[in-house]
Amino acid sequence: MTPWIALAAALALPHHEEIAPGVHAAGFSAKYRDSNSGWIAMKNDTLLIDLPRGISAAEYLTVVEKSTGKPARRLILTGAGANGEAGGGAADASVHQTLLAAFKARGIETITAAEGVRYLPFPGGAAVFHTQTKTLFGGPFVVHGPRKGLAKTDTASLAATLRKLEELSPAHVVPGFGTWGGPRVLTRHRKFVEELRRQVAYFVCQDKPHDSLQKEIAMPAEYQAWMPYDNPQPDEIEHVYRELTVPAAPFNGRAPVPGDRKTHALVLIGDLPHEPGHLEEGLRPVFEATGVEAHFTVDIRALSAENLAKVQLLVILRDGLMRPNTTWMTPAQERAIVDFVEGGKAFLNLHNSMGLYPAGGPYLNLVGGRYIGHGPLERFRVEVVDPNHPITRGVADFFAADEQHTPPYDEKKVHLLLRNRSDEGKSVAAAGWAYEPGKGRLCHLANGHTRDALHHPMNQLLMRNAVNWCLRRE
C-alpha cells in the first residue's frame, strides 16, 4: 500500500493485519464482542470471510480491495443459521442483515466452497481453513478473550469441535472473537472449555450443595488470555452445571432415537477419590475404537430405567458412597440394572464399581463379587488366567501402578479371566471376570484408578475386548 492508502485503511480498520501472504484479519471493538472478520486474495478476486462490524460495506470493501488489488466477489459466513447470523460476531441481527444486503447489492455472492479453501461445518456453525497458508478462521467456535456467549453453547460439542480443528495443525488462527495468533489460541480455548466442564463435573459427582458451586470454580491462568476478564461468568458456570445434571444429563439433547443403528452406552463415572476428567480421558478412546456412542454422566440420578432403555451398554466407574457416609444407589436403580442386564443388555463394571454399594443387594449379587479394600498404591503384576477368552485375546501379562483390589467373587457363577499379584507375591486376587446373567453379559475389570493403569495398552485392549464381548460382537 502507498502511505496514504495505509493511513486511510488504519483509520477505517484500526485492527487490520496481513497475517499470512494474501490473508488478512480485521478486528472490531468491545461493542461488537471483539469480533473478527477477514479476507483472502484468490487468483482472480478476493474472498471475504464473515461480515465486519461498526463500518459500512463501502468503507470496508475499499480497504479490502486496495489491500489485495482484486475485487471482492465472494463471501463465506461461519455462523449458524441460513444467513450465518453468528458469523463475525453479530451482536444485532438487523445490523447483520443490513450489511449482508449491502454486500449482495455490490454483486458479492455468499458461498460455502472455494478453491484452496476448506469449509468445515459443525453443529452451531462452520470454520474456514486456507490450505496454502494453513490459516484457520474459527468462526463462532474459537474465542481468545472474554467468553461472552459460552452459556448458549453445547460445551461438550464445542470441545469436540475444537479438537477437530486442532487436527488441522493451523499455523495462524483467527478466532471469531478476540485476538488472533498461532495454534495456541485454539488449544487454550479448548482447554478452557474442558477444564470448566471437568471442575463442574467433579463438583456434581460429589453431590455438593448447589449454592457452593460458584466459589468452587477456579480457572488456571494458563487457560486464559485476557485475565481476569475471561474468567468464567456465573451464568456460564451455571449453564455447564445444567448440562451435566438431570434432566439434561445424560444425553443433553442427543438421546438415541428409535431406529438409530449406532450402539449407545450410558457411562457413569466419578466420585471423591476418582476425578471424572481423567476417567473420561482414559475411557473415551475405548468407545471410539469400538464405535460406541458414549454418553458420559457424573450425575447419579441419570442412572434410571428410563435412560437405560435408550442404550445397549452400561459402564460404571465409581463407588457407591457419597462422602462422608451416604450410600447413593436406590432399590429402584438396583432393580433397573438387574432388569437391564438379565433382559439381554451389557454391563462393563470397572475398578471400584463394587465398592461401598448396598451390601447383599441385587446389584452386588448381579456383579458376582464384593469390595473388601485394596492395598497401597504400588506396581503389581496383572496375569492372564484364561488366554482363550475373547476378553483376554491378545493380552499379555503386564504390570500396573494402581490399587490392588482384592475382591472375593462367586466362583460358581463367574468365569475368572485375570488376577493381580503383588511384588512380593503375598497378595494374589481376582482382577477380572465375565459371565452371562440371564440373557445379558457382564464383565468386571478391577484395575483403572491411576492414569498409568487406565491408559496402559494392555488395559485399553482389555476394555475394548470387554466392550465387544459384552455386546456379543466376538
Query: Who contacts 330 (Cβ-Cβ below 8 Å, separation ≥6)?
Result: none
- The DSSP symbol for 398 reads E
pLDDT of residue 83: 44
397 secondary structure, DSSP code? -
Determine the 3-state secondary structure of 368 from DSSP: coil
pLDDT at res. 42: 97
Identify the pLDDT of residue 420: 94
345: Cβ–Cβ under 8 A, 6 or more apart, which residues?
Answer: 308, 311, 312, 313, 314, 440
Give the Cα separation of 141 and 127 in Å (integer): 8
Q: 64: left (phi > 0), else alpha (psi -120 to 50), else beta?
A: alpha
pLDDT of residue 229: 87
Q: Exposed/middle/buried for 119, CB within 10 Å: 0-12, 13-18, 19+?
A: middle
Helix, strand or coil, per DSSP, at residue 313: strand
**Residue of 47, 35, 16, 143 lying closest to 90 (CA atoms):** 35
**276-291: buried (b, 16+ CB within 10 Å) or exposed (e) per residue?**
bbbbbebbeebbeebe
pLDDT of residue 474: 74
Among the listed residues 108, 131, 134, 94, the one whose alpha carbon sits nearest the alpha carbon of residue 50: 108
| CATH numbers and ranges of domains, the chain | 3-192 (3.60.15.10), 263-470 (3.40.50.880)
Q: Whole-angstrom Cα distance, residue 414 to residue 436?
A: 8
Query: Rounded to 5 degrees, what angle do the CA atoms 185, 189, 192 make?
Result: 140
Place of cell 452371562: 436
Q: DSSP readout, 230-294?
A: TSPPHHHHHHHHHHHSTTTTTTTT----TT--SEEEEEEE-BTTB-HHHHHHHHHHHHHHHTEEE
Q: Considering only CA atoms, which of 278, 268, 263, 284 is closest in space to residue 463?
A: 284
Q: Mind giving me the DSSP string for 158-219?
A: HHHHHHHHHTT--SEEEEEEE--BSTHHHHHHHHHHHHHHHHHHHHHHTT--GGGHHHH---
**3 state SS of 463:** helix
Residue 11 is predicted with a pLDDT of 59
The per-residue pLDDT for 277 is 95
Predicted confidence at residue 49, as pLDDT, reads 97
Measured between alpha carbons, how far is 395 from 250 in angstroms, rounded to an integer? 32
Query: Phi-psi category of 139—alpha, beta or left, where left has phi over 0 and alpha has psi -120 to 50?
Result: left
Element (H, E) at 443: strand 441-445
Name residue, grid cell 512380593.
424
* SS3 state at 351: coil
Q: Are 385 and 428 within 8 A, CB to CB?
A: no
What pLDDT is recorded for position 10? 55
Q: Which residues in the chain come in under a pLDDT of 50?
A: 1, 3-5, 7-8, 82-91
